[in-house]
Structure 1
Amino acid sequence: MMKGLAEHLSATLEDIRADGLEKHEMAIGSSQSGRVKVGGREMVNLCANNYLGLADDPEVVAASVAALEKYGSGMASVRFICGTHELHKQLEATIARYLDKDDAILFGSCFDANGGIFETLLGPDDAIISDTLNHASIIDGVRLSKARRFRFATSDMDDLETQLKIASAEGTRFKLIVTDGVFSMDGYIAKLPEICDLAERHNAAVMIDDCHATGHLGEKGKGTPALTGAGNRVDIVSGTFGKTLGGAMGGFIAGPQPVIDILRQRARPYLFSNALPPAVAAGAIKAIEIAEAADDRRETLARHTNRFRTALTDAGFDLVPGETPIIPVMLYDATKAGAMASALQQRGVLVSAFSFPVVPREKARIRTQMSAALTDDDITAAIDAFVAARRELETVR
C-alpha cells in the first residue's frame, strides 16, 4: 500500500539533495557548551542557542539532578488530570515575576505555545496582523486560528499601519499584532516602541515571541521589551527554556490573567500534552535565577559579539547588520553555504548552513551565534577558520 507514496517521497528527497538543501544531523558526544565533541573531535561551537552558557552550568545541572532523584522521571499525565507538580507552579510564578506579567502558563515547547494561543484567544470576527518574517510556529499557529490574517513587511511601520487600517475598515472585533522580538535567522530586533504606538492608536494588542532574547538581552535579561524601552506596553510574551534559560525544553506564555486563565481551559497543546518533567522545571527555575543576576555573562556575550562581527566585517564577509548575538554570514547560494559549513567543520568550528525552506530561496547563510561559554581563544580560532575556509573555497572555484 505504501509503494506509490514511498516512491514519491524518494523522488522528492532526490530533488532536495540535487538542490543542495538536504539537512544533516550532527551527533554531539558531550555537554552543550562553548566547545563540544562531535565524532570524538573537540570543536568550537558557533551554532547553539546557549547564549549565557547555562546549558551545562553546574548549578542548573545540580538543580535538575536533585529534582530527578526526588520526583522521578516525569509526571505521566497532562496538567489538568494529575500532571501538575508544585515545581510547575513555581516556574510559572517565577517567569511571570521575571517578565513583570500577571501570570504564565507552561507548554512542552514554545512551538506548542505559539501553536495554541491564537485559536484560543481569537475567532472569525478578529484579526491577527503578523510580521512576514515571524517564526514558523507563529505562522502555523495563525493558520490554526479562524481569525482573519493580515501580514506586514518586516519592521515596516507604514505597512503595519496600513494593515491595521484595513482590519478596522473590515469591521474586525479585536486586533492582535504579533512579531518576533528578535528574528532568529537575521538577528533583527523588532521595533517594539513604534509597534506599541500603532497598537495604541488603532486599539490593538501586542504579542511577541522573545525566544532569542529572554535571559540575555535588556536589563537583567528581561528581553526585547526591556531592551527597547517598550516594557509593559507589550501585552503577551511567548518564550522558551530551551535556549538561554537552561537549554533543556519547554515553552511559556506570560501575560494578563484572563489570557493565561483561558489558555488553561482551552489551549489544545496544553490540555493534551504531557507535563514538563519536574527536573526540567527545576533547572529552568535555577537558570532564571542565574540569568537575572548575570550581568558578567551578558558583558562577555556582548564582547564576543562585537569582536566577531567587527573581525568578519573587516575581512570582507557579507553580514546581516545587527547588534544581537545572532550573526548571519550570507552566502546566498545553498550549495556554497553547505561547502562553507563543511570547510569550517574540518577546521574545528561547528556551524550549520541554513537554506530554503528555513530561509527564503537565494538567501542561504551560515548563522553564527555567540555564547558567554566561548573564550577569547575560541573567538580567535573561529575568525581564523572563516578566513581560511573562504580562501580554500575560492581557490577550488
Structure 2
Amino acid sequence: MSEQSPYSTAEIRTIALAVIAGVFFGGVATGVAFPTLPLLDEKLVISAVMLSVILSANRIARLFMNTPAGTIIDQVGARKPMIFGLFTQALAPFGYIVGLHTPPTDLGTVPLLGDVSLPGVVFVLARLFWGVGSAFVFIGAFATITYVTTADNRGRWVGYMRGGQSLGFPTGLVVGGVLTDLASMQTAFLAAGVLALIAGTVATLVLPDVHGGAEGRAAKLREVPSLLAGNPTVVLIGYGNFTLRFLWGGIILSTLARYASDAGLELSALGAAGVSGIVMGLGVLTSGSMTMVTGWVSDMVSDRTLLTVPAFLAMGAGFLIIAYVPTIEALLGAIVLVGGGMGAAAPALLAIMGDLTPGDELGRMGGVYQVMGDVGLSLGPLIAIPAVDLWFGYQLTYVLCAALVLSCLTIVSLPLLRNPDVSRAGAKADEG
C-alpha cells in the first residue's frame, strides 16, 4: 500500500482519537456486563450451562462474522461498517434491560442447555448483537488506522488503539461493579448503552471513508485456511496472535483464581478471589500501558519484529516463575512480565501486518487476524481447567504455556526478521 498518507497530522490525530474512543467505550461497555451477567442465572430461570452460553454468545458470533465483516469493509470502505458495528454494539446493553423486564416465562428444558427462559433468550440475542457489532468495530478500527497512517507513525496509533481496547474492559469492570452496588443492574446496563451510543455518534461525525473498492464475494469462516495459505506472513502473525490470546485471555484468566486458592496465596486480608482480581488488574494495566509505549517505540526501530523477541522471552519467563515459585511476590512479578510481554508483542504484530497488507485487503486480513485470536480466546478456557485439574497439574501446565510462547521466537520472530519486506530500514533507504 502507498506510504504517502493523504491526511495531515492533525487529521490523523482526530480520526485516530475517534477510532480509539470507539474501541475504548466498546471495551467499557463489555466490561460493565461482566460483574452482573454471572449473577443472573436465578433471576432469569436458567441453568448454569445456559448462563455460559449467554457469556460466550458474543465471542461465537464474532468468530463467524470476522471474515465476512472484513470482506464488506474491503468492498464498501471502513466508515459505514464501523459505524454500523458501534451502534449494533449499543443495542446489546439496551437488550439486557429488556431482558431484565421480560416476564420469566419458562420455555422448557433443552438438551445440554437445561432450563431455558424467555429472558435468557433475550440476553443471548443481545450478546449475539454485541458479537456481530464488535467484529465490524475491531476490523474497521484496524483498517482505518492502517490506511490513514504511514510506516513512520503507524505503530504509535496502532498501539494507542490496542491500548484503548485493553484498558476499556477493566474500566468497565469497575464501572459495572460500582454502579450495580450503588444503584442497580439496570443502571449499569444503561450506562454501557449510553457510552456505546456516544462512541457511535462521535464516529459518525469524524470517521472518513477509506480504502473501499475491492471486489469479490464475502469470505466465510471456513475459507480462512485458504486465505492463510495465500499469505504466509499473515500465518506467522496470526499464530502469534493466537498464542497471545490463548495464554492471556484463556489460560491465565481461567486458572489464576484456582491457582491462588490451591497455593494458599493471600495479600493482606484478601483471599484467592481478591488476590486474583488484584493480580489480573495489575496485568491488564501493565499490558495496556506497554501496548501504548511499544507502539510508539516500534516507529523508531528499523524492524518492528525486534520488539517481539524480548516480549516473548518476558512472557515465557513469567509463566516459568508462576510454575516454580508459588508465592504472592513471585506471582505479582510474573504477571508484570506476562502482561508486559503481551502488551509489547500485540501492537508490533498488528503494525507489521498493516505495513505489509495492501489497502484493498486490510479488511479481509484484519478479519483473519481476529479469527486466529478468537480461536485462541475460545480454546483457552475450554482447555485450561481440565489441564490443571485432570491432565497436567498447575506446574506442568504453566511450563507448557512457557514452551508455547517461546515457540513464537522460532515460528514468528525469526521468519519475520529474515523477511526483507518487514524491515523498515530498507524501505526508508529506497525512499531516500
Query: Please, what TM-score do these two structures have when normalized by structure 1?
Result: 0.28
Q: Of Structure 1 and Structure 2, which has the larger fraction of its residues in strand?
A: 1
Query: Please, what TM-score do these two structures have when normalized by structure 2?
Result: 0.26
